[in-house]
């Protein structure tokens, strides 16, 4: 199997006047296609990112040359596939600076990672009347699992409010803690507002109260360096497909001390040490939480995606996306009757907006006819929409391969659609 990553397009000197986005686009064939006879302008990266050819080639290569079920196989292909799978775990460990691969659990995505943690942590540590603290800007996947636990166990959900800029109110956050608080679960970056929450500060306060913290990193992992030891996060979750990897693969990072203490989420092969009808003993970490055949091809794809991102560097990516978002905000504010939601001082590459009385669905549909892909609706954050007093927004979310010319196309598209109403 070819494990090399072609970095020539990443590391080559920039032609005069060419930015990071232009330089990377050749690695993403889908970006050169047309939609309705117009060049595709893909601004829905908060939903999923496009995949570089290096990731797709690695997946195809492994299916054609190394495909075999991992772990316990004595034959060559199984051992080679196992080595690739476990090497991918080490790549993830390095990417987020975890202490050990024992702390890296592979899942099907952020949603399953959160459900795993809620189920297992809740079973072991939460009783009727115990409390979890969430924020008003959480994705449904960090609300509904806790509500299911509340229905089952009688726990209480407390919510951190925000100001009109979309910044969490930290004084109110501190006041939510009580002797019954068992865990805090909060988004690193809002998928609607782009707010980068001060999770390091929030974790430090929670730890002073003896409370662990789960950080939903789905919207931060592709955009900024993440060091789970520096954050001191007890749990951190993310999805491969948000960071240029395949769908169906996710990660649950957990401090080894916590993962040792919580029970398995599912039962089956891989997660056992010994099974009899009288008693089953469970496997060591991280396999205790990985029942059944893992997506060993998908984990290779994730590792290739992280290698690709590292080849560019998260600092240059963050700088490019910050410049692009700043430019987009400036251009969008030039449009009459533009309303932008989220004006936090520390923000990521996400902009949610409405224009006059145009319904977000209508605006998104008409932009699509111009080849511009944006997301419309409540973005799986209905409690946040209720706080904002709206039903939904149009959301443009940027990635490392987006360009100023695409921002200009978005602005021109909105201006054209606005004239129709």
Largest CA distance in the chain: 72
Omega within 30 of 0 (cis) for the link into 286: yes
Q: Could you tell me if 170 and 207 lie in one domain?
A: yes
pLDDT at 123: 96
Final residue before a domain boundary, out of 274, 291, 310: 310
Asked if the model's pLDDT at residue 270 lies above 90, the reply is no
What CATH number does residue 38 fall under? 3.90.1150.10
Residue 257: pLDDT band with limits 50, 70, 90: very high
Q: Is the pLDDT of residue 272 over 90?
A: no
CA distance 9 to 80: 29
- The pTM of this model reads 0.94
pLDDT, one tens digit per residue, over 21-57 is: 999 999 999 999 999 999 999 999 999 999 999 999 9
Q: Is residue 235 part of a domain?
A: yes
Q: Residue 343: pLDDT band by 50, 70, 90 thresholds? A: very high
Structure token pair of residue 186: 């909060």
Q: Is residue 190 part of a domain?
A: yes
Contact 302, 88 (CB under 8 A): yes
Of 15-19, 70-74, 150-154, 300-304, which range is least confident?
15-19
Q: What's the total number of domains in the chain?
A: 2
User: What φ, ψ does residue 215 adopt, rounded to 5°?
Assistant: -110, 125
255 lies in the same domain as 342: no
pLDDT tens for 203-250 read 999 999 999 999 999 999 999 999 999 999 999 999 999 999 999 999
Q: Give the length of the chain.
A: 421
Tokens representing 7 are 């970095």
Q: Decide which of 310, 338, 357 is a domain's last residue.
A: 310
Helix, strand, or coil here: 310? helix
The token pair at 115 is 């459900």
Residue 254, domain member (yes or no): yes
Domain identity same for 210 and 70: yes
Q: Could you tell me if residue 318 is inside a domain?
A: yes
What backbone torsions phi and psi does residue 419 show, to the nearest 5 degrees?
A: -70, -15
Residue 348 has pLDDT above 60, yes or no: yes
Contact 351, 332 (CB under 8 A): yes
CA dist., res. 198 & res. 45, Å (int): 23
- pLDDT for residue 14 is more than 70: no
For residue 135, what are the β-bridge partners? 160
Least confident interval from 100-104, 271-275, 337-341: 271-275
Provide φ and ψ at 80, rounded to 5°.
-65, -45
> Are 288 and 326 within one domain?
no
Structure tokens at 170: 């930290």
Is residue 307 within 8 Å of residue 55, measured between CB atoms? no
Domain-embedded: residue 3: no
Is 292 a member of any domain? yes
Q: What is the mean pLDDT of residues 369-374?
A: 98
Q: 282, 310, 338: which is the final residue of a domain?
A: 310
Whether the pLDDT of residue 16 is over 80: the answer is no
Three-class secondary structure of residue 207 per DSSP: helix
Indicate whether 238 and 320 sit together in one domain.
Answer: no
Domain enclosing residue 253, as ranges:
58-310
Number of alpha carbons in the 13 Å side-chain half-sphere of residue 389: 2
Is 62 found in the same domain as 155? yes
Cα(93)–Cα(85) distance, rounded to whole angstroms?
Answer: 13
Query: pLDDT for 117-168, tens place per residue?
Result: 999 999 999 999 999 999 999 999 999 999 999 999 999 999 999 999 999 9
Q: Are residues 96 and 210 in the same domain?
A: yes
Neighbours of 36 (CB within 10 A): 9
Q: What is the mean pLDDT of residues 278-291?
A: 88
% of the chain residues with pLDDT over 70: 96
Residue 5 resides in a domain: no
Q: Is the pLDDT at 8 greater than 50, yes or no?
A: no
Do residues 236 and 353 both lie within one domain? no
Contact 239, 110 (CB under 8 A): yes
240 counts as catalytic: no
pLDDT (tens digit, 9 = 90+) per residue, 46-96? 999 999 999 999 999 999 999 999 998 899 999 999 999 999 999 999 999
Q: What percent of the chain stands above pLDDT 90?
A: 90
Q: Are residues 160 and 35 in the same domain?
A: no
Please tell me the predicted confidence (pLDDT) of residue 15. Answer: 39
DSSP string, 334-380: TSTTEEEE---SSB-SEEEEEETT--HHHHHHHHHHTTEE-EEE-TT
**Secondary structure of 219-268 as H, E, C letters:** CCCCCCCCCHHHHCCCEEEEEHHHHCCCCCCEEEEECHHHHHHCCCCCCC
Q: Which residue has the higher pLDDT, 6 or 272?
A: 272
Arithmetic mean of pLDDT over the chain: 94
Spot the catalytic one: 150, 314, 380, 390.
Answer: 380
- Looking at residue 186, its pLDDT comes to 98
Domain for residue 366, yes or no?
A: yes
Are 21 and 108 members of one domain? Answer: no
CATH number at residue 162: 3.40.640.10
Q: How much is the average pLDDT of 315-331? A: 97
Residue with the larger pLDDT of the pair 281 and 39: 39
User: Is the per-residue pLDDT at 172 higher than 60?
Assistant: yes
By DSSP bridging, strand 250-254 and strand 235-239 are antiparallel
Tens of pLDDT, residue by residue over 392-416, are: 999 999 999 999 999 999 999 999 9
Tokens of 343: 């004006």
| 163 and 41 part of one domain | no
229 and 368 share a domain?
A: no
């Amino acid at each position: 199997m070819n494990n090399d990553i072609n970095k020539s397009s990443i590391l080559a000197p920039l032609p005069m006047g060419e930015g990071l986005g232009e330089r990377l686009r050749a690695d993403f064939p889908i970006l050169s296609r047309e939609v309705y006879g117009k060049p595709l302008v893909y601004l829905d990266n908060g939903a999923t990112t496009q995949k570089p050819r290096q990731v797709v080639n690695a997946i195809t290569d492994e299916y054609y040359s190394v495909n075999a079920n991992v772990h316990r196989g004595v034959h060559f292909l199984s051992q080679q596939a196992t080595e690739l799978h476990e090497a991918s775990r080490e790549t993830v460990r390095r990417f987020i600076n975890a202490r050990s691969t024992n702390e890296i659990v592979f899942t099907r995505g952020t949603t399953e990672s959160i459900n795993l943690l809620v189920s297992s942590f809740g079973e072991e540590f939460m009783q009727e009347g115990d409390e979890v603290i969430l924020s008003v800007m959480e994705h449904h996947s960090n609300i509904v699992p806790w509500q299911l636990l509340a229905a089952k166990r009688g726990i209480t959900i407390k919510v951190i409010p925000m100001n009109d800029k979309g910044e969490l109110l930290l004084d109110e956050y501190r006041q939510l803690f009580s002797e019954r608080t068992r865990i805090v679960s909060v988004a690193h970056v809002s998928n609607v507002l782009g707010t980068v929450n001060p999770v390091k500060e929030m974790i430090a306060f929670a730890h002073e109260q003896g409370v662990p913290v789960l950080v939903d990193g789905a919207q931060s992992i592709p955009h900024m360096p993440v060091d789970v030891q520096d954050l001191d996060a007890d749990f951190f979750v993310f999805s491969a497909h948000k960071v240029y990897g395949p769908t169906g693969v996710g990660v649950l990072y957990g401090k080894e001390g916590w993962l040792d203490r919580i029970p398995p989420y599912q039962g089956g092969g891989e997660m056992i040490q010994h099974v009899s009808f009288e008693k089953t003993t469970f496997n060591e970490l991280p396999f205790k939480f990985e029942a059944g055949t893992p997506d060993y091809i998908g984990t290779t794809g994730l590792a290739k995606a992280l290698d690709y991102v590292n080849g560019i560097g998260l600092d240059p990516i963050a700088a490019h996306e910050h410049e692009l978002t700043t430019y987009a905000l400036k251009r969008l504010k030039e449009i009459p009757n533009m309303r932008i939601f989220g004006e936090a001082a520390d923000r990521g590459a996400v902009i949610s907006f409405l224009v006059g009385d145009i319904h977000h669905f209508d605006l998104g549909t008409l932009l699509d006819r111009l080849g511009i892909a944006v997301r419309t609706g409540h973005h799986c954050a209905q409690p946040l929409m209720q706080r904002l007093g709206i039903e939904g927004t149009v959301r443009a979310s940027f990635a490392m391969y987006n360009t100023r010319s695409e921002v200009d196309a978005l602005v021109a598209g909105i201006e054209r659609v606005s004239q129709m109403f």
